[in-house]
Amino acid sequence: MSIAALILAAGSSTRLGTSKQLLPWGEVTLLEHVIARTRSFGIDEIWVVIGHDSEEVLDAVDFGGASVVINDEYPEGMASSLRVGLDSLTRESRAEKVLIVLGDQPDVRSDVVGELMSIARREKRSAVVPKYRYSWANPVIIDRSLWARLMSLDGDAGAQRLLQAHPEWVREVWFEHLPPRDIDTPHDVQELQPKSDRPDA
C-alpha cells in the first residue's frame, strides 16, 4: 500500500513576521528540515505545497526531489493548500493514502508516524488520527476515498473538522506525550530551534 506525504507550507507566517519556510534550522531551512524528516519516515513520495513568497522559497530551498505544488490561493487558509495538494495527488500520484504533515512542525516523532503508517496499512477505516493524551493533532493519514471530501473544505480548517463530524471514518491512535508544536511566534523559535542556532547557545 503506497503512502504519499503532503507537506503544507504555504502560509504567510503573520504572527512570526518572517517566512517560516526560510528560517535557519540547523544547517538548513525549516522547510528543508521538515522535508528531510518526512523522508526519514520511509514515505513513498513527498509533495510540498508552498504559496507565500513562493519564488523566494523555490530559489532558497533544496526540495531533494520532492514534488512542489504552488498554492496561489494560500490567503484563504489551510483548506486551500489541502485542495491544491490533493488535486495534484489525485491527478499525478497512484498513492492510496496520504500523510498530511504541517511545514511548521519540526519535531514530529518518527515512532508516532511509524505506528500510524503500520495501522493505516491494515486498517479498514478511512482515516488514522493520533490522539495525544486528550486531543487529536497531526500528522494524520487519509485514504484516497476521502480526498474529494477534503477538497471541498474552505477557510483555515484542516481535515479535523470533517473527521470529527464522521467518527465512524476514524481510527484513533493514542499517545501519552504532547503533540508536536507549531512554530508560530519568535518565542516558539527560541524554544524549539536546534541549540546551535540559538543566540545563547
Amino acid at 70: I
CATH number, residue 124: 3.90.550.10
Asked, for residue 105, whether it belongs to a domain, the answer is yes
Sign of CA dihedral 153, 159, 161, 164: positive
Asked, for residue 110, whether it belongs to a domain, the answer is yes
* pLDDT (0 to 100) of residue 199: 44
Range of the domain at 160: 3-193
* pLDDT (0 to 100) of residue 197: 52
Number of domains composing the chain: 1
Query: What rounded mean pLDDT belongs to the chain?
Result: 92
Asked, for residue 198, whether it belongs to a domain, the answer is no
Omega cis (within 30) before 139: yes
Asked, for residue 116, whether it belongs to a domain, the answer is yes
Whether the per-residue pLDDT at 85 is higher than 90: the answer is yes
* pLDDT (0 to 100) of residue 18: 83
Amino acid at 71: N
Asked, for residue 121, whether it belongs to a domain, the answer is yes
Asked, for residue 98, whether it belongs to a domain, the answer is yes
Asked, for residue 201, whether it belongs to a domain, the answer is no
Whether the per-residue pLDDT at 10 is higher than 90: the answer is yes
Asked, for residue 36, whether it belongs to a domain, the answer is yes
By DSSP bridging, strand 3-9 and strand 97-102 are parallel
pLDDT tens track for 95-124? 999 999 999 999 999 999 999 999 999 989
Q: Which of 153, 152, 151, 145 is nearest to 169 (CA)?
A: 145
Q: What share of the chain is helix, strand, coil (3-state, %, to 5)?
A: 40, 20, 40
